[in-house]
Structure 1
Amino acid sequence: MKKFSIVIAGGGSTYTPGIIVTLLKHLDQFPIRQIKLYDNDGERQKIIADAVEVIIRERAPEIQFVATTDPEEGFTDVDFVMAQIRVGKYEMRDKDEKIPLKYGVIGQETCGPGGIAYGMRSIGGVLEILDYMEKYSPDAWMLNYSNPASIVAEATRRLRPDSKILHICDMPVAIQNNMAKILGLKSYRDMDVRYFGLNHFGWWTSIKDKKGNDLMPKLKEYVAKNGYLPPNHEDQFEESWKETYRKAKDVYALDPDTLPNTYLKYYFYPDDVVEHSDPTHTRVDEVREGREKKVFGICRKIAEQQSTEGFNLEGSDEHADYIIDLARAIAYNTRERMLVIVENNGAIENFDPTAMVEIPCLIGSDGPERLAMGKIPRFQKGLMEQQVAVEKLVVDAWIEHSYQKLWQALTLSKTVPSARVAKLILDDLMEANAGYWPELH
């Protein structure tokens, strides 16, 4: 049986240990001969890599492990590139979240002005990694979950149309896992779903169990009262996530025929979000104080004692599970049904064929085969037309170095109240992103 070689691009990410542990748990289904970590920040990556080396040595010493900042070493002889880069790291996320809040506009890393700023930084980084892969391992597949996925996906569709790249997001999976808990099922894998939308901007139209029983009525009844926060699971979520999952009940109220992605709260209730935001302490601060501190702390201790003893590394990581399912589906042509971001091309009948949409596809060795979603209702179609125009204008602005197009993108975003506010935010973001964005004129 073939054994695979994988590189995790963005090896210094706090998600890396979870991906490694999950990969090692599934070696019987997805055998691996080599794992590489690649990052352009060697210092940050070393903290993670020193611990990963110990984890691999303990659990699968036969796997060759490499951590590098050299593209040729990182991308040569690999079958899969798992990309989770964050251009500008948390320092720039801090600005993405806090600058818009100065003007009473939501500060969020993938939605609204913050997502647009992050997209302008991410496009170049993702293209760079894709080009390294194609240069050093032209037969490999890139599984990209670097954000903001919609903007990055539109950029690769336009600028690297023939590349073997798939864009994914674990948010629908995280929500589906909550749905499974609400329904008393073991996992999101116990459900068959129909879903349509853009990344962080979609709706479920059907959820059934494997026997074909309709689970929507029970779910809708629960969500209408409680949102997506599962019963007796409060202690599993940080406060901001509890608020997000609860808020889904207000988002659901707008269209009780479907079930919404949680991120729609930023577009439907931006005023509520701003009211509950502290402009001096946003989600990035929570991540730094929580996940980053915890993961880096554990990694340092594992490296220090050269053992994982005393550390529970088996935590549930939907993020990692989903990526591995995707790699396995491509490697073994399983034609598993998964939500991925693909060019619409008629899957949503009454929507822009060039839009990058998030829909169920059958995944095999040739990539994704779209499932037809038919026609979508006017409410969702109107919202999606506006949002896809924002994403396309951002990519136009990046390609053309156009200040005008980026101002238009911000003005068109449902989260921004006026062109005047859009311009104020844009000017601040432009200054903050000097050296990261193309020079706009």
Structure 2
Amino acid sequence: MKKYSIVVAGGGSTFTPGIALMLLEEQDRFPIRKIKFYDNDGKRQETIAKACEIYIKENAPEIEFSYTTDPEEAFTDVDFCMAHIRVGKYAMREKDEKIPLKYGVVGQETCGPGGIAYGMRSIGGIIELIDYMEKYSPNAWMLNYSNPAAIVAEATRRLRPDSKILNICDMPVDLEEKMADMVGLKSRKQLDTQYYGLNHFGWWHKIYDNEGNDLMPIIRKKMAENGFAGAISQTDQHVENSWMDTFAKAKDVYALDPETIPNTYLKYYLFPDYVVEHANPEHTRANEVMEHREKHIFEVCNNIIEAGTAKGSPFEPDAHATYIVDLACAIAKNTKEKMLLIVPNEGTIENFDRTAMVEVPCIVGSNGYERIVQGAIPQFQKGLMEQQVSVEKLTVAAWIEGSYQKLWQAITLSKTVPSARVAKLILDDLIEANKEYWPELK
């Protein structure tokens, strides 16, 4: 049986241990011979990697493990690159969130001006990874789940259109698990769904079980009552307040179009006044993450390193990240699994821009993907998507051309921003904050 070699790009991420453990758990269907971590921040990566190395030695000694900041070493002899990078780390995320809030605008990691700022930092990093992969392992596939996925996907379409990269997001996976829970099923794998939209900006319009029974009536009823908050299971009790609010607010997002089930991120675009009102400009989601998950993961890693053993450590496999293995298996074994990917539209949504990077179900196999046609979409969704896809396209054009004008237009066009004047104030602050990361804008 073939065993695979993987490089995790973003080896210093707090999500990396959960992904490494998940890969070990999935060995029966996705056997691994080598795991490598790659990051351009060697010091940060070292703590995560040393702890994971101890864990892997104790639990899967047959797997070769290494970590490096050298691209050639990282990308030579790999079958898959699993990419989840965060250019600028949480310090820059904090600025993405706090600068817009200063002007009464949504401050969020992937939506509105904060998402645009993050996208402007991410484009160069992802293109660099693709180039390393193609240089050192030209037959490898990149499974990219780096945020903001919509802007990153549009950049790869424009700049590396022939690359073997699949852009994917875990948010629909999480929401499908919640919908399965609503109808009494054990797993999202027991659902057969149809979905259309952009990343963090989409709607389910058909949901069946594997026997073909229509589940939409039950799910609609539950959404009207509690949004997704009613599907927080016992295992989700650690969900932070900010996420609980998002799951509950889905009830109001759903009310705008009760024919479909919305992605939770639509709250930022449809209720920006509510979001700003309930935000603390001094203490945002980035601060929550730094104070909790970031601190916790590095403490656990340091304890493992100090003890020289991972036995009894609270490390857990990231169960919902099994979708990454589903995707890798689909390519490696030609399983023809149906998965939501971010791909060029090309008629999948018939009344929408053919060049838009849309999030739709695809059948994935060893030669890539085949889109599943979603037909024409309603005017409400189409109008919202036209506006948002223009934001994404203008952002990528601004990065490629170094255009201040286009980035100002992108921020002005975001549904979260009230006027061109406010957009310009935010943009000028973001330029100052991102001097080290963005191309120079003229």
Same fold (TM over 0.5): yes
Q: Which amino acid aligns with 2:345?
A: N
Is 1:285 equivalent to 2:284 in the alignment?
no
Match of 2:161 in 1: 161
Of the three residues 268, 271, 281, the one matched with 2:270 is 268
Give the distance between the partners of 1:247 and 1:114, measured in 2 at CA: 21
Give the distance between the partners of 1:7 and 1:428, measured in 2 at CA: 36
Instruction: Determine if contact 2:17/2:317 at 8 Å carries over to the other structure.
Output: no
Match of 1:250 in 2: 252
Give the distance between the partners of 2:18 and 2:232, measured in 1 at CA: 25
Secondary structure of the residue that 1:123 maps to in structure 2? helix
Match of 1:376 in 2: 377
Is 1:390 equivalent to 2:417 in the alignment?
no
What is the Cα deviation at residue 150 of structure 1?
0.6
What is the Cα deviation at residue 55 of structure 1?
1.2
Instruction: Determine if contact 1:182/1:231 at 8 Å carries over to the other structure.
Output: no
What is the Cα deviation at residue 236 of structure 1?
3.3
Match of 1:195 in 2: 195
What is the Cα deviation at residue 317 of structure 1?
2.9
Match of 2:319 in 1: 317
Q: Residues 317-362 of structure 1: CA distance to partner in whole angstroms, max 9, x if unpaired?
A: 31x2111110111000000000010000111111101000000000
Instruction: Determine if contact 2:300/2:315 at 8 Å carries over to the other structure.
Output: no
Give the distance between the partners of 2:298 and 2:186, measured in 1 at CA: 30
Q: Which amino acid aligns with 2:212?
A: G
Give the distance between the partners of 1:92 and 1:270, measured in 2 at CA: 22
Secondary structure of the residue that 1:437 maps to in structure 2? coil
What is the Cα deviation at residue 293 of structure 1?
1.1
What is the Cα deviation at residue 315 of structure 1?
4.9
Secondary structure of the residue that 1:407 maps to in structure 2? helix
Instruction: Determine if contact 2:338/2:361 at 8 Å carries over to the other structure.
Output: yes
Give the distance between the partners of 2:295 and 2:359, measured in 1 at CA: 32
Is 1:436 equivalent to 2:434 in the alignment?
no
Match of 1:75 in 2: 75
Instruction: Determine if contact 1:248/1:260 at 8 Å carries over to the other structure.
Output: yes
Instruction: Determine if contact 1:410/1:416 at 8 Å carries over to the other structure.
Output: yes
Aligned counterparts, 1:222-371, within 5 A: 222-229=222-229, 230=231, 233=234, 235-318=237-320, 320-371=321-372
Instruction: Determine if contact 2:98/2:284 at 8 Å carries over to the other structure.
Output: yes
Secondary structure of the residue that 1:203 maps to in structure 2? strand
Give the distance between the partners of 2:322 and 2:397, measured in 1 at CA: 34
Q: Which amino acid aligns with 1:74?
A: A
Instruction: Determine if contact 2:86/2:147 at 8 Å carries over to the other structure.
Output: yes
Give the distance between the partners of 1:361 and 1:55, measured in 2 at CA: 35
Give the distance between the partners of 1:74 and 1:294, measured in 2 at CA: 27
Give the distance between the partners of 1:107 and 1:45, measured in 2 at CA: 28
Residues 203 and 47 (structure 1 numbering): CA distance in 2 closer, same or farther, change over 3 Å?
same
TM-score calculated relative to the size of structure 1: 0.98
What is the Cα deviation at residue 224 of structure 1?
0.6
Secondary structure of the residue that 1:236 maps to in structure 2? coil
Secondary structure of the residue that 2:169 maps to in structure 1? coil
Is 1:114 equivalent to 2:133 in the alignment?
no
Q: Which amino acid aligns with 1:314?
A: E
Q: How many residues align?
A: 440
What is the Cα deviation at residue 231 of structure 1?
5.3
Give the distance between the partners of 2:417 and 2:319, measured in 1 at CA: 34
Give the distance between the partners of 2:318 and 2:184, measured in 1 at CA: 17
Q: Which amino acid aligns with 1:260?
A: P
Match of 1:22 in 2: 22
Match of 2:402 in 1: 401
C-alpha RMSD of matched pairs (Å): 1.0
Q: Which amino acid aligns with 2:283?
A: H
Give the distance between the partners of 2:3 and 2:399, measured in 1 at CA: 39
Q: Which amino acid aligns with 1:382?
A: G
Q: Which amino acid aligns with 2:146?
A: S
Give the distance between the partners of 1:187 and 1:4, measured in 2 at CA: 27
Give the distance between the partners of 2:240 and 2:310, measured in 1 at CA: 25
Aligned counterparts, 1:204-223, within 5 A: 204-223=204-223
Match of 1:45 in 2: 45
Instruction: Determine if contact 2:20/2:317 at 8 Å carries over to the other structure.
Output: no
Match of 1:89 in 2: 89
Q: Residues 351-386 of structure 1: CA distance to partner in whole angstroms, max 9, x if unpaired?
A: 101000000000001111100000000000000000
Give the distance between the partners of 2:232 and 2:71, measured in 1 at CA: 46
TM-score calculated relative to the size of structure 2: 0.98
How much identity, in percent, do the aligned residues show?
Answer: 68
Secondary structure of the residue that 1:67 maps to in structure 2? strand
Match of 1:177 in 2: 177
Q: Which amino acid aligns with 1:213?
A: N
Instruction: Determine if contact 1:342/1:358 at 8 Å carries over to the other structure.
Output: yes
Secondary structure of the residue that 2:256 maps to in structure 1? coil
Instruction: Determine if contact 2:35/2:66 at 8 Å carries over to the other structure.
Output: yes
Is 1:420 equivalent to 2:431 in the alignment?
no
What is the Cα deviation at residue 22 of structure 1?
0.7
Match of 1:130 in 2: 130
Give the distance between the partners of 1:325 and 1:58, measured in 2 at CA: 25
Q: Which runs of 5+ in 2 are unaligned?
A: none
Secondary structure of the residue that 1:206 maps to in structure 2? strand
274-283 or 204-213, which moves further after superposition? 204-213
What is the Cα deviation at residue 235 of structure 1?
2.0
Q: Which amino acid aligns with 2:376?
A: K
Secondary structure of the residue that 1:196 maps to in structure 2? strand
Give the distance between the partners of 1:342 and 1:323, measured in 2 at CA: 17
Residues 74 and 102 (structure 1 numbering): CA distance in 2 closer, same or farther, change over 3 Å?
same
Q: Which amino acid aligns with 1:239?
A: N
Q: Which amino acid aligns with 2:375?
A: G
Q: Which amino acid aligns with 2:313?
A: F
Secondary structure of the residue that 2:394 maps to in structure 1? helix
What is the Cα deviation at residue 25 of structure 1?
0.6
What is the Cα deviation at residue 418 of structure 1?
0.1
Give the distance between the partners of 2:358 and 2:409, measured in 1 at CA: 22
Q: Which amino acid aligns with 1:254?
A: L
